[in-house]
Amino acid sequence: MSKVRVLVGTRKGAFVLTSDGKREEWDVSGPHFAGWEIYHVKGSPVDRDRLYASQSSAWSGQVIQRSNDGGKTWGPVDNKFVYDGVAGTHQWYDGTPHPWEFKRVWHLEPSLTDPDTVYAGVEDAALFRTVDGGQSWQELNGLRAHGSGPRWQPGAGGMCLHTIILDPSDPNRIFIAISAAGAFRTDDAGKTWRPINKGLHSLYIPDPTAEVGHCVHHVAMHPSRPGVLFMQKHWDVMRSDDAGDSWHEVSGNLPTDFGFVIDVHAHEPETIYVVPIKSDAEHFVPDGKLRVYRSRTGGNEWEALTNGLPQTDCYVNVLRDAMAVDSLDKCGVYFGTSGGQVYASADAGDNWAPIVRDLPAVLSVEVQTLP
Amino acid sequence: MIRVALPGHLRTLANIDGEVKLEIAGEVTQRSVLDALEGVYPMLRGTIRDHVTQKRRPFLRFFACAEDLSHESPDVPLPAAVASGAEPFLILGAIAGG
């Protein structure tokens, strides 16, 4: 029988949750790296026992951990993230130039073909890559060297590169997103990049349709349709049918179109999930109700999924990397909250149950489907 | 023999129990102690001082002999009691919440 392994990053450590294909009984392992912030843990799709974790703290900076046995044991690898060449400046919150300074790794994206190759999205925004299993990291400096770099500015959470999507049909194409610069695409394996923000409309920047400056919170893609992208922006849920060349809004009947997560069903490319959050000032679910919204039409028409989720007095947030799907026949959907709950649905969102209720605040959730 | 006491989370990272004992040839300074420490435990590189600037990370402090040496030059000799091993060189996390 197939198994699933849920990799959870929290404010105070990492947890590994495992279950069989029924996804009813769970084994909880952790905390790993107790006391450290774990922004992201992700496994290689080529070697599922090869995991990478981003471990950081305000005291001791960045550590990258690697496991070769599915998270049973870990060891630190290289943590030297040095910008290539002169780092330069970006905009600070007050609009003044500010030096690029490495703070942490937000997202680790293992290669689709090589377990030793991993991309790292960092704050201050840049893209790094290792090709030796984490023994060394090099910046793909074409992104930061894009002419718009000096105009990028941090969102409330910092100027982070938080989303990396590798196109399974084209090894030269990568999508990334930065808060608050926007989305970018390379078609030459990272040498050159271009902003893909046409159609985004953001009232919090002087020119709401500017080339860069949009606070993109997350982007999702179904691997069978790499030209179709779904985006949860600061406000607005967006869709692109041309690999990001243009976007249109699909917020439809959502109760609020602010939010962080967005994901796509493993087997239905037009079925997408978001968790609406009340507003940029009130980072919790609206009306005290934790509701996942599902669209089976690729956006615009949304239904609330509430079975098994708290519907009174709930005021949690769900952060941008804290939702994932498994690829079992009945697609499993998982998300973690700022209150430390990790919820799972073994039936594509119709019914939910907590795997764990009392972890530290959840920063990220990834899922591996194992044979 | 120089004695170095690390905060708990760095002992865990480096898989260290208790104090670290280091042999240092030449002058005993913050820099020579940290160079020796990182030589034995390379996973500590970047966690105590910045990889590039080699400056102390802002939320860590260096104490010895009941003195805060955090703002001393890294090339100033450490107290004789540290150099002799009578007193440890303390690396600890600042009280900054968390």
Q: Do A60 and B96 touch (CB under 8 A)?
A: no
A156 close to B (CB below 8 A): no
pLDDT at site A212: 95
Give the number of other Cβ atoms within 10 Å of residue A219's Cβ: 24
Please give the Cα distance from A151 to A213 (Å, whole number): 8
Contact assessment for residue A275 and residue A294, using Cβ atoms and an 8 Å cutoff: no
Q: Does A339 reside within a domain?
A: no
Place of tokens 């709930």: A314
Please give the Cα distance from A89 to A70 (Å, whole number): 39
Please give the Cα distance from A154 to A223 (Å, whole number): 30
Q: Domains in chain B and their CATH numbers?
A: 2-93 (3.10.20.30)
| CA distance, residue B66 to nearest chain A CA (Å) | 21
Contact assessment for residue A208 and residue A198, using Cβ atoms and an 8 Å cutoff: no
Q: Does A245 reside within a domain?
A: yes
Q: Does A221 reside within a domain?
A: yes
Instruction: Report which of B20, B68, B57 is spatially closest to residue B40, judged by C-alpha positions.
Output: B20
Contact assessment for residue A293 and residue A257, using Cβ atoms and an 8 Å cutoff: no
Buried b / exposed e along A221-258 (16+ C-beta atoms within 10 A): bbbeebebbbbbbbbbbbbbeebbeebebbbeebeebb
pLDDT at site A1: 72
Coil, strand or helix: which one is B32?
helix
pLDDT tens digit string along B5-38? 999 999 999 999 999 999 999 999 999 999 999 9
Q: Do A58 and B51 touch (CB under 8 A)?
A: no
Give the number of other Cβ atoms within 10 Å of residue A87's Cβ: 17
pLDDT at site A179: 94
Give the strand pairing for A174-179 and A160-166.
antiparallel
Nearest CA in chain B to A135: B43
| CA distance, residue B1 to nearest chain A CA (Å) | 25
One-letter amino acid identity for B40?
V
Q: Does A34 reside within a domain?
A: no
B positions 27-56 inside 8 Å of A (CB):
43, 45-48, 50-52
The answer for A217, left when phi > 0, alpha when psi is -120 to 50, beta otherwise, is: alpha
Q: Alpha carbon B44 to chain centroid distance?
A: 10
Q: Do A61 and B46 touch (CB under 8 A)?
A: yes
A288 close to B (CB below 8 A): no
Q: Which residues of B touch A80 (CB under 8 A)?
A: 45-46, 51
> pTM (2 decimals)?
0.96
Contact assessment for residue B98 and residue B14, using Cβ atoms and an 8 Å cutoff: no
A60 close to B (CB below 8 A): yes
| CATH number of the domain that residue A159 is part of | 2.130.10.10
Contact assessment for residue A17 and residue A343, using Cβ atoms and an 8 Å cutoff: no
Place of tokens 């290669």: A111
Q: Do A82 and B52 touch (CB under 8 A)?
A: yes
pLDDT tens digit string along A71-94? 999 999 999 999 998 888 999 988
For residue B97, pLDDT over 70 is answered with no
Q: Is the peptide bond before A276 cis (omega within 30 degrees of 0)?
A: no
Q: Mutating which of B47, B49, B57, B70 best tests the A interface, going by the most A Cβ atoms within 10 A? A: B47
Contact assessment for residue A314 and residue A271, using Cβ atoms and an 8 Å cutoff: no
* Cα-based torsion angle of the residue sequence A102, A107, A109, A115 in order, rounded to the nearest 10 degrees: 70
pLDDT at site A116: 98
Question: What is the side-by-side order of every strand in the sheet holding A303-305?
Answer: A258-264, A272-277, A292-295, A303-305
B94 close to A (CB below 8 A): yes
Low-confidence ranges of chain A (pLDDT < 50): none
Please give the Cα distance from A320 to A216 (Å, whole number): 10
Q: Which residues of B touch A124 (CB under 8 A)?
A: none
- Say how many domains are in chain A: 1
What's the domain range around A207? Answer: 44-320
